[in-house]
């Protein structure tokens, strides 16, 4: 067994037991001490398999881990839904006087977003400023996304305005922030000012219009989006559906949009029962493949 052979085996690995064997061989051969890129690949493989116990042991076996290795471990904890552990690893990195890079702070911001902890987020933001990382577009976008997901729109706008290079992800994060707090006027202003749009932009704007029951404008944008060839999401289908085109859109979902009906879509059709259209509700129930909650909704 040698280093090249282990690389091949790692690319083929798809089970935890097999990965542990590769890890053990790497320790036996002393590879982890001299090949941090291979250690990072092992960490990423553990993340894909959703485990964090072995990766922490692996990380302790790396001599003088560099910023890439630290970032891999932070991302691993985020990926396996352990954001607080991810922030603990990030704090260890800082306490050891290792200078963070754009990727490590973005990983830390992802953890802050998961736990919705603005206090931690502002500490990470302060570290970003201290190390002059805020000018990197991926860091700016991560900050906007994190603040908008936490509904801190004031901070979202401040970061957006300070960014020198704004891409479509920057604009979409700002738009989503306003959409999340149901600010139709600001959402519309951002949408109109966007230099370019993609499916995320259209879907966010349509969703906020639907939430404010702006039926005519929502349907107009929906038709514009379809005419422009943009893809609609399941969330958008549900939003428009609740307004006006429920049953017709349900029949078109698979044929025209390639979307399989889910429980959310069946659930939306309780409007038939609530509106007293019991015959229509009965016909629709007969089409349903599986769900119990919707029957109760219509009955009650």
**What confidence score (pLDDT) does residue 266 get?**
60
Q: At which residue do the structure tokens 């985020």 appear?
A: 78
Q: At which residue do the structure tokens 């754009």 appear?
A: 102
Domain extent listing, the chain? 167-244, 261-300
CA angle 287, 289, 295 (to 5 degrees): 75
* pLDDT by 10s per residue, the chain, length 300: 677 787 888 888 888 888 888 888 888 888 877 788 888 888 888 888 888 888 888 888 888 899 999 999 999 999 989 999 999 999 999 999 999 999 999 999 999 999 988 999 999 999 999 999 988 999 999 999 999 888 899 999 999 999 988 999 999 989 988 888 888 899 999 999 999 998 889 888 988 887 776 767 877 888 888 788 777 776 666 666 555 555 566 666 666 667 666 666 566 555 445 434 455 556 656 655 444 544 444 444
**What confidence score (pLDDT) does residue 296 get?**
47
Question: Cα separation of 259 and 271, whole Å?
Answer: 21
**What confidence score (pLDDT) does residue 116 get?**
86
Question: Cα separation of 119 and 208, whole Å?
Answer: 28
Q: Are 141 and 159 in contact (CB under 8 A)?
A: no
**What confidence score (pLDDT) does residue 226 get?**
77
| pTM, rounded to two decimals | 0.71
Question: Cα separation of 121 and 102, whole Å?
Answer: 15
**What confidence score (pLDDT) does residue 282 get?**
62
To the nearest 10°, report the CA torsion of 122, 165, 136, 128.
Answer: -20
């Amino acid at each position: 067994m040698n280093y090249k052979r282990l690389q091949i085996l790692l690319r083929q690995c798809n089970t935890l037991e097999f990965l542990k064997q590769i890890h053990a061989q790497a320790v036996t051969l002393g590879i982890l001490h001299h090949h941090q890129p291979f250690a990072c690949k092992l960490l990423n493989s553990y993340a894909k398999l959703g485990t964090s116990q072995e990766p922490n042991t692996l990380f302790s076996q790396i001599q003088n881990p560099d910023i890439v290795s630290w970032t891999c471990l932070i991302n691993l904890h985020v990926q396996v839904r352990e954001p607080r552990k991810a922030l603990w690893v990030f704090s260890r990195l800082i306490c050891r006087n290792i200078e963070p890079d754009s990727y490590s702070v973005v990983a830390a911001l992802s953890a802050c977003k998961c736990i919705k902890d603005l206090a931690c987020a502002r500490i990470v933001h302060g570290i970003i400023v201290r190390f002059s990382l805020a000018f990197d577009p991926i860091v700016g976008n991560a900050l906007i996304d994190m603040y908008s997901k936490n509904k801190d729109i004031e901070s979202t706008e401040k970061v957006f305005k300070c960014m020198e290079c704004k891409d479509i992800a920057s604009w979409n994060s700002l738009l989503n922030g306003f959409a999340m707090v149901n600010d139709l006027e600001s959402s519309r202003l951002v949408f109109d000012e966007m230099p370019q749009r993609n499916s995320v932009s259209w879907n966010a704007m349509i969703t906020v219009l639907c939430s404010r029951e702006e039926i005519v404008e929502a349907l107009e944008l929906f038709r514009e989006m379809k005419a422009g060839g943009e893809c609609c999401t399941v969330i958008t289908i549900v939003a428009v559906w609740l307004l006006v085109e429920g049953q017709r859109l349900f029949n078109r979902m698979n044929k025209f949009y390639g979307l399989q009906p889910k429980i959310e879509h069946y659930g939306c059709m309780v409007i038939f029962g609530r509106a007293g259209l019991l015959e229509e509700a009965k016909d629709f129930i007969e089409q349903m493949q599986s769900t119990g909650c919707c029957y109760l909704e219509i009955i009650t």
